[in-house]
Amino acid sequence: MTKMSGAEILVESLLKEGVRDMFGYQGGAVLPIFDVLVDKPINFILVRHEQGAAHAADGYARSTGKVGVCIATSGPGATNLVTGIATAYMDSVPIVALTGQVPTHMIGNDAFQEADIIGITRPITKHSYLVKDVKELARTVKEAFHIARTGRPGPVVIDLPKNVSTGETEYNYPEKVNIRSYNPTYLGHPMQIKRAAKAISKSKRPVIYAGGGIIISGASEELLKFSETTNIPVTTTLLGLGGFPGTHPLFLGMLGMHGTKYANLAITESDLIIAIGARFDDRITGKTSEFAPHAKIIHIDIDPSAISKNIQVDIPIVGDAKRVLQELNKIVTKCDISPWHRKINKWKREYPLTYKQNEKLKPQYVVEKIYEVTKGRAIITTEVGQNQMWAAQYYKYTRPRTLLSSGGLGTMGYGFPAAIGAQVGNPEAIVFDIAGDGSFQMNIQELATAVQFNLPVNVAILNNQYLGMVRQWQELFFNKRYAYTSLEVSPDFVKVAEAYGAVGIRVEKKEDVTPALKHAIQTKKPVILDFRVEKEENVFPMVPAGAALNQMIEGMA
């Protein structure tokens, strides 16, 4: 058998795992790998900052369901991936991050561009590997992809010393993975499933609370069938949007801090919550001691550590959401809950999502028009802050994997490189990054990436010249002391776009929004749309920090 270098083994192993697209940045410790990559059938996207590579791999993974792959050199290259790795970890996104490292005999000697990336990323990865022998490399890659994509997905780091990349050995890629300590539970316990079905049949005010696990497990069809069979309304988390059709009459919208009032009231008055692929995070529960005070809770999740972690549950079911729902769908029947539906429909009429219309351009209006022009068929990425919440509230997601957003970590600068990753993974799709003028500037350099690789990503900047969400909190809770949240000194985004070779469009009037969006979609080039929106518009409704879900601020007088 012919010997191969570690770099050749790595790339061949990636091909065997189905990798056809990668994101990353060159550097000394990974030179041998890039020298092999250039001749292989992998579409390599050269980003302009390593953080962009991690977010692009993340967006690729979320939008396609595949494992995203990124690569960076040792030291600062590797550390620049950290924010993206942490983002993926918090949101259970399967990525494999390849990092260069100094040669094994130099590790620990403070060599040039050395950083302990294993130590740095251990708390924010599902697993991590430092490959010390080229003979271990093929098995390591096989295990890394298996761990990243199975169970509750997450990021895996493979740290590659330069002498491992240049070393040689015989190549033998394993067919199977056998990790004794890692065996995720996919099938829910039959008795627990029967207990859940019995509780559902007896409930009078049930609510399905679905999280990102619905999308990760591919359980959207099963959730729809479950809801329609039982006649139980559905609310989702931010990352669960698209897991249940946003136009369905049983849909309550998003719950939580900036959720709909009727979703939060339904949770508060429910007598049974069926939580599926969700983790009861603080932005959902509000004041935990007052969360769903009258409800029994069924919790379905593949991660046993997530069950009763934040909220004590009554009927835990450890298993894959899709498989558990398939079993539940065999035994559940329609619930007699007509009074509950009448109450919820009354709330929907009384507390619709709305905003005050006037002559000024409103950010909510822009999001509504993006929905209309794309007919709800676009892939939407977001940055973090007000833009993120308006995208969640005013765009109706009818299919899974069409909203990509940093939920757990709340990473500003995520949306644009994630949109690039989504466009690479879905070349025929219309992709929009709904951005803030603050967040967009954090990875604005990726305009060069979008232009170089002819990626027709559209960026809709809701430009209010503030760090909008922070300013909103300052307005509501800090006596309007706008300390260091003004972004009045910002670039001309149209000129910046043109300088990079993209298209820039400024929009200041309502009547120009739709024509600008249509033009952007038809351009087939990267387009930056600078929407000059109302500067001090706020996101409502809002549950203040420490308040219960039914203590929402509905708007300003």
Q: Which residues are catalytic?
A: 50, 112-113, 162, 469
DSSP class per residue in 418-434 = HHHHHHHH-TTS-EEEE
Crossing angle between the packed helical segments 363-374 and 386-394, to the nearest 10 degrees: 50
Rounded to whole angstroms, the Cα distance separating 74 from 165 reads 13
Cα-Cα-Cα-Cα torsion 500, 501, 502, 506, nearest 10 degrees, comes to 80
Alpha helix (H) residue ranges in 249-404: 261-269, 282-285, 321-329, 338-350, 363-374, 386-394
DSSP SS3 for 67:
coil
3-state SS track over 78-111: HHCCHHHHHHHHHCCCCEEEEEEECCHHHCCCCC
Contact (Cβ atoms closer than 8 angstroms) between residue 142 and residue 174: yes
CA distance 421 to 455: 10
Would you say 253 and 259 are in contact if contact means Cβ atoms under 8 Å apart?
yes
Q: Can you name the residues that pair with 459 across neighbouring β-strands?
A: 433, 528
Instruction: Tell me the pairing of strands 234-236 and 206-210.
Output: parallel
Vertex 443 angle, CA 458 and 538, to 5°: 70
The pair of three-digit structure tokens given for residue 408, joined into one six-digit string: 């757990």
| Cα–Cα separations (whole angstroms), residue 505 to 147, 495, 510, 529 | 44, 9, 14, 5
Contact 141, 13 (CB under 8 A): yes
